[in-house]
Amino acid sequence: MFKILGERLQATFKKLRGKGKLTEQDVTETLREVRMALLEADVNLKVVRDFVAAVKERAIGQEVFESLTPGQHVIKIVHEELIKLLGGSASRINLSANPPSVLMLVGLQGSGKTTQAGKLARLLRKSGRHPLLVACDIYRPAAIDQLETLGRQLDIPVFSMRESKNAVEIARLAKENAMRQGRDLVIIDTAGRLHIDERLMQELKDIYTAVQPHEVLLVVDGMTGQDAVTVAESFDKALSIDGIIMTKLDGDARGGAALSIKAVTGKPIKYIGVGEKLDALEVFHPERMASRILGMGDVLSLIEKAEEVFDVKRAAELERKLRSQTFTLEDFLGQLQQMRNIGPLDQLLGMIPGLAQAQQLKGLQLDERELKRVEAMIFSMTTKERQRPEIIDGSRRKRIALGSGTSVQDVNRLLKQFEQSRKMMKAMTDMGKRGGKKSKFPLV
C-alpha cells in the first residue's frame, strides 16, 4: 500500500541529504516534487494544495531544532502534516455502555460489506465482545449464505430471516434477539446497490430509525480512488456516517482515497482491510501509516502482529541461538512459517525502519508455493546439513536438488537467503541489546 507514493517521497527527501542549509528555493523545489507525487497518487487536488501550502509555511523561516539537520526538519514537518491529513490519531468506534451496541455497515454493492462484517466481528470479539451478525442484504443472491458461512468459520451466530423481504423488520428483531441471547454487539450487514439511489438511502434511513445504531460505518473500496471519496460524501450527506472501513488497501499502490477522504468528508478512517483472510482487518493508525509512507517503519504494528502468533519461549530460544551463532536451517524454516502467519513479507519489511528502502530486499516475497519449495529442500537435507549449512558442497547441493524436485540454483538461492537472514537478524538482535538510539528520520 502507498508503494508508489512512498518511493517517490523517499527519493525526493534523499536529495536533501548532507545539506547544511536549505534555501527557500530548495524547499520550493522539494515541495514541487511532493506535490507531483501526491497528484500521481490520485490525491484530491484541493487537498494537495492545502497540504503543500501548510508544509511550506512551516518549513520556510523556522528555526531548525538542534538535534535535526535542515533536511530532517523538512521531513519532520511533512511527517506531521501527513498525520493530520490521515486523521491525526486512531479513531475508535463508539460502543455503548448499555448493551447491545449496534454497528451498521453501509456501502455500494461490491465494496465488501459482508466480508468486513465478519472481519469486524472477529476483531471486536478479541477485545471481549460477544457479536451477533445480522443479514439485512435481502436483494443480492447468496448474501445470506455468505454471511452464514462466515459465521460458521468464525463460530459467531448469524441472525437471518430468509422468508422476509423487510430489512427494517429483520434489523429490529435482530436487536431484540441479541438482548435475549446476551449478545452485547450487533453488526448489521445492509444491502448495497451498484449506484447510490433514493430507494437504497431510504431503506438505510428506515433501518437507522428502527435500531438507532451507535455507529454507521461506510465500507469503501480503496482502489477506486477519488470515486471512494465521492461515495463517502454522498452517504454522509444522506445518512451522517461516523467512520469509514477502507478495503483493499493492500492492493492500492497509490493510496489517494486514504489520503483524501478525511480532509474532504471530515470522517475518519477507522479500519483498513489489508488482505483477503478473515484476520486481515486492522485499526487505522494515521501516525504509523505516515511513518511507513516516509520509510520510517511501523514497529508498533509489527510487534502487535508478532505477538498474536509468536511463542515467547521460542522467541527467547531464537535470540539465544542468534547470539551464540547456532541459528540453523531448521530455525530458519520455523521463522518463515511463523512469518507466513503474520502476513506478506513485503508488508512486514515495510514496517521495519530502513528495510523498506533496502535494495537487496526489493521484490522479496513469501508465498505458499515458495514456502513449500523451501520446505522440500530443507527436508531433503540430512540433520547434519541443516545444523551446519557450511558443509553443503557441490555434490550435496545436487543431491538436495534431486531429492526436492528443484534445481541446484534453487538450493544456492536458499542458502544465500539463509545467510542474509541470519546476518540481518543477528544485527537487529545486537542493536536491541546495545539499546543504541538512531534517528527517527533515517532518510537524511
Tell me: do 167 and 305 sit in the same domain. no
pLDDT score at 367: 58
Tell me: do 143 and 202 sit in the same domain. yes
Q: Which of 254, 285, 316 is the last residue of a domain?
A: 285
pLDDT score at 430: 63
Q: Which of 86, 110, 132 is the last residue of a domain?
A: 86
Task: Identify the band that residue 437 occupies on the pLDDT scale cut at 50, 70 and 90.
Answer: very low
Cell, residue 10: 523517499
Q: How many domains does the chain have?
A: 3
User: pLDDT per residue over 369-424, tens digit each?
Assistant: 777 888 899 999 999 999 889 899 999 999 999 999 999 999 999 999 888 877 77
Domain membership flag for residue 330: yes
Tell me: do 142 and 281 sit in the same domain. yes
* Structure-model confidence comparison of residues 441 and 339, the more confident one: 339
Answer yes or no: is pLDDT of 442 > 50.
no
* Structure-model confidence comparison of residues 164 and 150, the more confident one: 150
Task: Identify the band that residue 157 occupies on the pLDDT scale cut at 50, 70 and 90.
Answer: very high
Tell me: do 186 and 306 sit in the same domain. no
Minimum mean pLDDT among 112-121, 197-206, 250-259, 393-402: which range?
250-259
Tell me: do 193 and 109 sit in the same domain. yes
Domain harbouring 39, CATH code? 1.20.120.140
Tell if the pTM clears 0.95, that is, is over it.
no
Residue 332, CA atoms < 13 Å, CB-side half-sphere = 27
Tell me: do 147 and 174 sit in the same domain. yes
* Structure-model confidence comparison of residues 412 and 334, the more confident one: 412
Domain membership flag for residue 78: yes
Tell me: do 223 and 306 sit in the same domain. no
Answer yes or no: is pLDDT of 357 > 50.
no
pLDDT score at 360: 42
Which stretch, 11-25, 111-125, 328-342, has highest mean pLDDT? 111-125
Average confidence (pLDDT) over 357-372: 56
* Structure-model confidence comparison of residues 6 and 128, the more confident one: 128
pLDDT score at 439: 45
Average confidence (pLDDT) over 127-151: 92
Minimum mean pLDDT among 66-75, 143-152, 402-411: which range?
66-75
Domain membership flag for residue 272: yes
pLDDT score at 290: 84
Tell me: do 126 and 181 sit in the same domain. yes
Domain membership flag for residue 261: yes
pLDDT score at 152: 95
Average confidence (pLDDT) over 116-140: 93
Domain holding 34, by residue range, is 3-86
Tell me: do 198 and 273 sit in the same domain. yes
> Average model confidence (pLDDT) for the chain?
81
Cell, residue 13: 527527501
Q: Which of 262, 285, 308 is the last residue of a domain?
A: 285
Answer yes or no: is pLDDT of 102 > 70.
yes
* Structure-model confidence comparison of residues 348 and 364, the more confident one: 348
pLDDT score at 149: 95
Domain harbouring 367, CATH code? 1.10.260.30
